[in-house]
Structure 1
Amino acid sequence: MAPPLVLDIDGTLTRADGGIDPRAFDALREWEAPIVLATGKAFPYPVALCHFMDISERVVAEHGGIVCADDEVRVTVDDASRAADAARAFVERGGQMGWGRADTVNRWRETEVAVRYDADEALLRAVAEEFGVELVDTGYAYHLKLPGVAKGDGVRSVAETLALEPADFVAVGDSENDVSTFEVVGESYAVANADDRARDAADHVTEGAHLDGTLEALAACRDR
């Protein structure tokens, strides 16, 4: 029997050159158990992906800052102003957010702030420390968020809504922001392109990278 899944998006459902790998659409639509998309992206992005994949809206967004399951949406951060203040200070001191004037990466973000990966990391880390916010490196962007907010907590919340245990889930991810998820689920897979922290925290590391690795993990947990 197929287990419920927690899946990261970037690096996990994508191609090596970026963008969702189209094979993910049929693979997830045909999965018989609940699927949770757990990501650092702003809330509308994984929700839209659920719509396009024709799967239920079960989402952990912004590293656990927003959780959605079975028609319930919960914002887990009471005050995101500290992250916004840190981002403002970063720009005032010469840093670049990197997303252009429209900044659609942050336009709908509610609980944290994302900065492009080619930003001044040293300056960003200094500002994060000064403002008491956590800097998360996903391999695709830097995220300024409040300490104590994590994907794993969002997974616990979704599991409770679905009347499941976190240990019932199998997770697949690729970066340090997936470690908290790996710590709460019953079984975890890091795809071959994962960073060292994700690889060290996972129960298994796939031979395949990106979606190839995810499909490898899904085949393994379906057939166990």
Structure 2
Amino acid sequence: IKQKGVWESFPAFSPDGRTLYFTAAREVQIPGELQQSQYNLLKVSFDPETGTIGPDVETVVDAASMGKSLTFPKPSFDGKYLMYTLCDYGTFSIWHHESDLWLLDLETGETRPLDEVNSPDTDSYHNWSSNSRWFVFSSRRDDGAYTRPYIAHFDENGVAGKPFMLPQRDPVNYYRKLYRSYNVPEFVTGPVPLDRIRAQKLIDAPERVPFGFRWSD
């Protein structure tokens, strides 16, 4: 799928491992043409048994035709939806105040902005819970400077509930005094016992080796 003159980014597998989603944009000169860098959502078939990528690449969402750039494609674990972020250009949507979350219905192909949760400021990185009924996302809606984690329910009809900030014992003082950003929030079910040295060896190995690691059950 690698093409000359095209940049590819943000790979994400479907839950069954048989479809690979990714973003792609026409190569431009950086930094002079950065604002012309706009990524679309593409997909290609994948055989998890052999590790073989299919021959045909399909455009799923033509964000460039909307004057936008697409980042962070994340299929829901039930395989029904795919959430992504739209910003004006590039791939670093957390720095774009116009960034919003969008939802793609994988059965109908219809896509829409997630108006139920979007704010006038940045709404960017996101991730699904393992049952596809919740999602967490990063937002700068509070002060425009620091990214904080918000959580929202997602019902069986594809409608999101009102988002709420990650609870804390004393949320007012905690978030006002914490001069750090939650840029990449993820759901986990417990501690992640990852041996980084072993993981690097498996990733660099010439043969395909079962890794035995999942983000969620």
User: What TM-score results when the alignment is normalised by the length of structure 1?
Assistant: 0.26
Q: Which has the higher helix share?
A: 1
Q: Which has the higher strand share?
A: 2
Higher relative contact order (CA 8 A, sep 6+): 1
Between Structure 1 and Structure 2, whose CA radius of gyration is higher? 2
